[in-house]
Structure 1
């Protein structure tokens, strides 16, 4: 025995009809407010991830150059090329290229020497005696071009070729 829709009380029939237009508009407005609050945080997070990724690529290239220098017992140069598209970090032995790493095009990298008066450089040379040819050491400062809120990262190499990454620097 099934009850028909017409046999239900009028009050029960009216309350189960669905959402009103006002309820839907309020829900959409609340969702829009939540998204507008979260959007800047997400873009900053993406910028920080790009910077972290580029710092990791540079750190890997430097560690690879250090290891190759010791294994081959030859000088290995790490050359940062900011004018190529995409930007690259290249490991060279003499004049021959060993490996090339691509850098994210949305990042900027400043390469300077350590010390009282930093000087821009493009090449770091690892020697087989486990030191670098640059007297003071070198700092790679990585920033994101699309965001001013991200935390810059620095990859540094000291005189005795110790490589470290820190959240520091200015863009």
Structure 2
């Protein structure tokens, strides 16, 4: 006995042939609602990750400047430049250069964009604040003490 679609009655063949247009439209509408709810959360997570990444890059560059100053036994200048809409640049004088997202901005408490590490492990204390173009993201702070201790913490206010 062969069981094929051609042997079934005409009415049964018509009703079991797939999804209706209404079923497809309802499914697409439900998916659109789910994506609409999830999209803002995802963009906030990406912005938080940008701020953490920029803070980590800044912290590592500061630690490198401190170490190189001690190793070379000379003053070493650390600078940063937000570069407007281009990628930001962090420079450790004649040693290395780092880049960070153009959506992140770094500001410092002294507004001078530069700091000099001394081989005696001394530096002017300063606080860097990292913000993102997405204003709903929490900012981070990198604090450099007078004895060149570098700490990364949550906080700070963005302009």
- The size of the alignment, in residue pairs, is 157
> How many Å apart are 1:169 and its aligned residue?
1.0
In structure 2, what is the equivalent of residue 87 of structure 1? 88
> How many Å apart are 1:86 and its aligned residue?
3.6
Kept in 1: contact 2:82–2:102 (CA 8 A): no
Deviations 1:13-52 (A, max 9, x none): 3442211111111000000000000111111111111111
Give the 5 Å matches for 1:60-139. Answer: 60-83=60-83, 85-92=86-93, 97-112=94-109, 119-132=110-123, 134=124, 137-139=125-127
**Structure 2 CA distance for partners of 1:142 and 1:8, relative to 1, 3 Å:** same
SS class of match (2:52): helix
TM normalised by structure 2 equals: 0.89
In structure 1, the gaps of 5 or more residues are 113-118
> How many Å apart are 1:124 and its aligned residue?
1.4
The whole-number CA distance in structure 2 between the counterparts of 1:2 and 1:83 is 75
The whole-number CA distance in structure 2 between the counterparts of 1:101 and 1:7 is 72
RMSD: 1.8
Deviations 1:41-97 (A, max 9, x none): 1111111111111111111100101111111111111112234854321112xxxx2
Question: Is 1:160–2:147 an aligned residue pair?
Answer: yes
**Structure 2 CA distance for partners of 1:72 and 1:18, relative to 1, 3 Å:** same
